[in-house]
Structure 1
């Protein structure tokens, strides 16, 4: 009896220990995701991260980052020190095509194989460099109260501060291709002739606008807060932030003429401590058209799944650019040229903005 009792207790203890391990492991499972603060983080938390946590029990920790350049620098520093604490970082589609991206991000080709047969997903929704979060526009906006008869609708009008007086907001990203693109369009360069870019001509055109720029922004939050505070009357900003302002009742309008058609990718940091969980989070996103639809309803992006459109209101879909606008009025940046000339663009921008 003693022997049987001891064995029984030992077996019960062993069973209890084994039973507790998966529970503890489940409680410890998490993903650390880089965010950008403000409306963006609130939207993805409500429509994507919270449902994922409820469905899987995996906790998602969001670490705010000021901007993409700072985020890339942070990831690079983690890799150089061997102290990787982030699992997922966001990179623009342009930057995700650069060779340097592959040095920071895991190749997820094997993960993407499961999505190759998905007819609803746009081409390139999942590729080695990461998962497509969505595509949107960086575009011209204006305060309709300041321009009751209509604000600037083209870059030439944006530059015309006599016909459309007021302060401007412009991006200050050091790779500069956004600012230079707008400048060349304002100077009359046709969309199909933007690349290779005439950098000298673009900076000369920027010289004209510079005295009228009240806000050189590096983060999306700066553009939204600057609009609320009246720091500028017409600006060059992300569609996600434009929509957030519209949804809160701000008097903002926009134009797709000369807008940049760009997207973001979620990438896995090389050596991510929670790579398996990070891939589960990205799979949840691609497998959930409703999640994509709700996010793009709030942030005016074009989701990777065409099925997501059914979860967006007709009003939200109407805010997206039409096929004709995309094909004839919007700029699809030349990633190859921009990445090949990035160092030169950064040097030229830093020299220009500091003098």
Structure 2
């Protein structure tokens, strides 16, 4: 994720702002943040006259420091769903989304977090490598004998479905996935360790795939969308397989200067039109389940909430991740560096 901030208002610097301003925090330059700007922030600014500045990257550590110092300059933050579950009432303000909570997939709305985007952990392969013998099962990613080749996954935070994919591939039923058997998941990755590259960033993973440095990949759908749009159309999605699903949420930091306006922006972003526009621009699944599905061919191919994927979705247990993230991230980090 880029460390440079992007500003909605040209020439403005990130600051605490005035009575008619909000600071929106996202992940840095790219289709994802640009989609938020075009689908949510520009229209909201035009409708309300509120000046919106984008800051970033989203960081729980920075948010915690702001709240504890009582110097909060952020108003709306895009973050992982488990962060909202773990910090509701301490770092985050409650959001009363009862009037529109039924727009979202069951179990995805929390007291302090409103879904922003859905992501599938997609299994993709380079068709130029495998020709008429493509992978057809999630287990094929972890089978270097049947499918020799270079693998790549994002090596950072594994809560995006990295461990869930390994356990599903190893035969764990979706309804018995949690609590995650982390040692078993790591042992599945041991099978491909000599063939596996751990990308330092999502951008690095995408570049390796586009540059011919990988043959198979587990990649979040938003990055898969960027990959295909960039012209790397030799990469194909393995259809009809279990797919871990995670989501980001919009939250209001405790101590925001304008919490009511922040909640209003979140409500606006949750509308059908806004959700659909963001999904089309960023290649994510629209969080609003009543929104029209993505219109582009790549968007439809990667839409984890499409009707044809109903039996394939395996939703993350965000409460389990909220309680276990630190331990699991440490175990994953030890494995990746050991």
Residue aligned with 1:221, SS: helix
Find the counterpart in structure 2 of residue 108 from structure 1.
95
Which protein has the larger Cα radius of gyration, Structure 1 or Structure 2? 1
Unaligned runs of 5+ in 1: 1-25
Find the counterpart in structure 1 of residue 40 from structure 2.
48
1:91 aligned onto 2:89:
no
- Within the candidate set 231, 243, 246, 1:259 is matched to 243
Find the counterpart in structure 2 of residue 17 from structure 1.
none
Unaligned runs of 5+ in 2: 1-16
Find the counterpart in structure 1 of residue 14 from structure 2.
none
Q: Distance in 2 between matches of 1:333 and 1:127?
A: 14
Q: Distance in 2 between matches of 1:319 and 1:196?
A: 27
Q: Distance in 1 between matches of 2:74 and 2:245?
A: 28
**Count of residues paired in the alignment:** 317
- Within the candidate set 130, 146, 154, 2:129 is matched to 146
Contact 1:309/1:317, CA 8 A, preserved across alignment: no
Find the counterpart in structure 2 of residue 225 from structure 1.
207
Deviation at 1:339, TM superposition (A): 3.1
1:286 aligned onto 2:270:
yes
Find the counterpart in structure 2 of residue 181 from structure 1.
164
| Equivalence map 1:1-355=2 (5 Å) | 29-37=20-28, 38-65=30-57, 71-98=59-86, 100-109=87-96, 112-115=97-100, 122-123=105-106, 127-149=110-132, 151-174=134-157, 178-217=161-200, 219-251=201-233, 252-255=235-238, 257-287=241-271, 289-309=272-292, 312-313=294-295, 315=297, 316-317=299-300, 319-321=302-304, 322-323=306-307, 325-327=309-311, 329-355=312-338
> Residue deviations 1:288-332, cap 9 Å, x none?
x2221121123343324344207x4374446424446333x3322
- TM norm structure 1: 0.78
Structure 1 runs of 4+ with >4 Å offset = 119-127, 174-177, 314-319
> Residue deviations 1:31-56, cap 9 Å, x none?
21111131111122222222222222
Deviation at 1:174, TM superposition (A): 4.2
Bigger proportion of residues as helix: 1
Q: Distance in 1 between matches of 2:118 and 2:184?
A: 29
Q: CA RMSD in A?
A: 2.8
Q: Distance in 1 between matches of 2:142 and 2:78?
A: 32
